[in-house]
A and B are shown apart, each in its own frame.
Chain A
Amino acid sequence: MKDNKNKTLKMVLAVVILAALIGALVLIYKNFSPKPTAGAKSVTIEVVDDQADTTSYEVNTDAEYLRQVMEETDGLTFSGAESEYGMMVDTVNGIRADYNENGAYWSFYLNDDYCNYGIDTQPVADGDHFSIVYTRAE
């Protein structure tokens, strides 16, 4: 009887503590994850290809996430595999970077810092400068 009570108590404690920790993480995520800004924004996208040639695009957009901005950008084409994390871009402007095929991948930078999000969840703010760089694995 006492044993059963102890087991129930342990079970409740385990679930409650985990739920509390999850709640705390949700709060941190809500407060500290970057929020997209609505309304007209001016964004620059720069593509550095496999020959280190750079093409720049200036876009005025209402889009909230990078993927939408890329889709709206005239002259910029891209494709990739859809995954649970969003699109994993492997081809930009017809140039394919596949780690398994040629040991290369497309790196995404926001204002010179490596993007922490996939293109589907990367928020966009006015004045942002994105770089999409063909990168060879070392």
Chain B
Amino acid sequence: MKKHGQVVKYSKTALKDIAVSGLMIATIEAAKAALGFLPNIELTSFLLIMYALIFGVKTLYAVPGFILIEGAVYGFQLWWIMYLYTWPLLVVFTLLFKKRTSVWFWCFFSGIFGLCFGALCAVPYFFAGWAGESLRGGIYAAFTWWVAGIPWDIIHCVGNFTVMLLLFVPVKAVLKRCYAYIYL
């Protein structure tokens, strides 16, 4: 590629990373659209965890792209601010526990993420309430918002746990083969 008269060479690995990121985003978006009719049952958490386990830090390249597409499709509203930190956090925590191999650990991990999703998403309400009223107002706004969504967090938790339990072993095997095919 030419840049200011110079030839800039991208390594094969960098090009592969870009292509893999695109595939990650595409599969997440497709899964999201396919399961959109089920309330709080989603494959985004599952896929991000699996990608982080197999592709490691490279998954972090895909996350901003995914978040940007979500905003472009559904509008850049308050929920989009929540996406800015919840999904990267999920990938970072997955990378921290990357050495764990037990399916039960990942079921637990994914379930906990589902359970905490509402609490994580309540953070902007805390700041909005704090800015608009007072610290107490911020705590109240975040707490009531979180409590209102608890039934959905429980569904999210059970859904994440079940999806991980059913798909962890087969999807891990497929992704390992993909990784070997692309990078080795």
Tally chain A residues at the interface, Cβ within 8 Å: 23
Question: Are B39's CB and A84's CB within 8 A?
Answer: yes
Question: Are B108's CB and A26's CB within 8 A?
Answer: no
Question: Are A25's CB and B75's CB within 8 A?
Answer: no
B135 at the interface (CB under 8 A from A): no
Q: How far is the CA of A33 from the CA of B143 in the complex (A)?
A: 10
Q: How far is the CA of A116 from the CA of B161 in the complex (A)?
A: 27
A18 at the interface (CB under 8 A from B): yes
Given contacts A10-B102, A18-B112, contact A28 B147 (CB under 8 A): yes
- Within 8 Å by CB of B108, from A18, A29, A116, lies A18
Question: Are A22's CB and B144's CB within 8 A?
Answer: no
Q: How far is the CA of A7 from the CA of B102 in the complex (A)?
A: 8
Question: Are A18's CB and B157's CB within 8 A?
Answer: yes
Question: Are A25's CB and B150's CB within 8 A?
Answer: yes
Per DSSP, chain A at the interface is: helix
B138 contacts which chain A residues (CB < 8 A)?
none
- Within 8 Å by CB of A22, from B108, B141, B148, B157, lies B157
A28 contacts which chain B residues (CB < 8 A)?
147, 150
Tally chain B residues at the interface, Cβ within 8 Å: 24
Given contacts A22-B157, A25-B154, A137-B77, contact A116 B111 (CB under 8 A): no
Residues in B51-109 with C-beta less than 8 Å from chain A: 75, 77, 102, 104-105, 107-108
Looking at the assembled complex, report how far the CB atom of B31 sits from the nearest CB atom of chain A, in whole angstroms. 18
Q: How far is the CA of A32 from the CA of B150 in the complex (A)?
A: 11
- Identify the B interface with A (CB < 8 A): 39, 75, 77, 102, 104-105, 107-108, 111-112, 115, 141, 143-145, 147-148, 150-151, 153-154, 157-158, 161
- Identify the A interface with B (CB < 8 A): 7, 10-11, 13-14, 17-18, 21-22, 25-26, 28-29, 32-34, 84-85, 99, 113, 116-117, 137
8 pairs of A and B residues whose beta carbons are closest in the complex:
A14-B108, A84-B39, A29-B150, A116-B148, A10-B104, A14-B104, A11-B104, A32-B147
